[in-house]
Amino acid sequence: MRWCLPSALALMLFALPGRARAQDGWYLGMQLGAAAAPGMDVRTGGLDDWSSSDVSSVRCDMTLNPDRVQVEPGACSDVPQPWGPLEESFGGGRGILAGMVLGYRMRSLRVEGEYVYRIAAHDDVAVPHDPATNYDPTRDASFDVVRDAVDNVASHSAFANLYYHFRTGSKAAPYVGMGVGFSRVTVEYRTLWHRTRTIENVRIFDPAGERGEEMNSRLLGANTIDRARLSDSLLGYQAVAGLDYQVGGQVTLGFNLRWMGFAEFNGESEYDRLRGHASVAGNPPVPVTYYVRTDDVGFLAFNLDMKSHF
């Protein structure tokens, strides 16, 4: 059903009488349409307190455990260490596309510069997991809630495009084209790791060991949390197919279908809170970040456009 509108419009345009009149020269255009983004497979990781042995990274947290309780000498690294990647998947999104173009047509070819803005609402949540160890936080009793979310994905893009128009002997001119350019892509991302308030389920420190119950109680209800607008500048490409119809001496109306793809997205942010304290790790504590990476920030779009030739 979603292809019925463009198909019917194409048939009507071809059916209208008229003689083809190529609009050589400069033109300005605007466009508006709907965008659909595919599902997103995401990898996340970053830097944190980590051990050089089997000691839990939480025991190495200098902010929570400055006295190194239940930590053997040399067991913790003073420098924040990498963790991840964890993996998660989010559903697709729907949104809008709008843009402006400035171009030049010469017979069957036209070249143009294009600015495109699109935004798609994914509004989906997922639970990260570790494929290397099969760790699933939903089966970890020390956490009550673990979830990440992707809200909106937006991009501001500047492209250089090349099109070829097919001669039809009518005022309707189908075309195909491609373009390359750069985009500033923004992903609205949320993460929450909420620890349980049930002391019996917290076993980071040995309850029977030195200050074990005291240290475990410090973790009750502790959150690792953030809400961020992650951004990255990416190389982009697109493939376009469409149809223009001349409605006046200097004006054409039409529609097109496009796929726009991008290089890998890589955004970073500090946590708002890391285990209930500032986003720091190491000895002495230094700021640490997490990353979000994905290859799935492309989109499919159908849009209507108008061009004014001069």
For the chain, the DSSP string reads -TTHHHHHHHHHHHHS--------EEEEEEEEEEEEE--EEEEEEEEE--BSSSS-TTTT-TTT-TT-TT--TT-B-SS-EEEEEEEEEE--EEEEEEEEEEEEEETTEEEEEEEEEEEEEEEEEE--BBTTTTB-GGG-TTEEEEEEEEEEEEEEEEEEEEEEEPP-SSSEEEEEEEEEEEEEEEEEEEEEEEE-S-GGG--SS-TTSTTHHHHHHTTTT-EEEEEEEEEEEEEEEEEEEEEEEE-SSSEEEEEEEEEEEES-EEEEEE-SBBTTB-SEETTTTEE-EEEEEES---EEEEEEEEEEE-
Compute the C-alpha angle 212/216/220, nearest 5°. 165
For 46-100, how does the pLDDT look when each residue is reduced to its tens digit (9 = 90+)?
999 876 555 577 899 999 999 999 998 888 889 999 999 999 999 999 999 999 9
Tell me the β-bridge partners of 235: 182
For residue 151, what pLDDT is reported?
98
Question: Taking the domain 4-309, which CATH number applies?
Answer: 2.40.160.20
Strand partners, 5: none
For residues 232 and 185, the answer to whether their CB atoms sit within 8 Å is yes
Give the whole-angstrom CA distance, residue 295 versus residue 60: 34
- Kindly give the confidence (pLDDT) of every residue in the chain, 310 residues in length, as a single tens digit, with 9 standing for 90 and above: 344 444 444 433 333 444 445 568 999 999 999 999 999 999 999 999 876 555 577 899 999 999 999 998 888 889 999 999 999 999 999 999 999 999 999 989 999 999 999 999 999 999 999 999 999 999 999 999 999 999 999 999 999 999 999 988 888 999 999 999 999 999 999 999 999 999 999 989 999 999 999 999 999 999 999 999 999 999 999 999 999 999 988 899 999 999 999 999 999 999 999 999 999 999 999 999 999 999 999 999 999 999 999 8
What pLDDT shows up at residue 53? Answer: 53
CB–CB of 188/152 below 8 Å? yes
pLDDT the model gives residue 39: 96
CA–CA separation, 25 vs 167, rounded Å?
A: 17
82: buried, middle or exposed (CB in 10 Å: 19+, 13-18, 0-12)?
A: exposed
So what's the pLDDT on residue 252?
94
Q: How confident is the model at residue 55, as a pLDDT? A: 58
Query: What was the pLDDT predicted at 206?
Result: 93
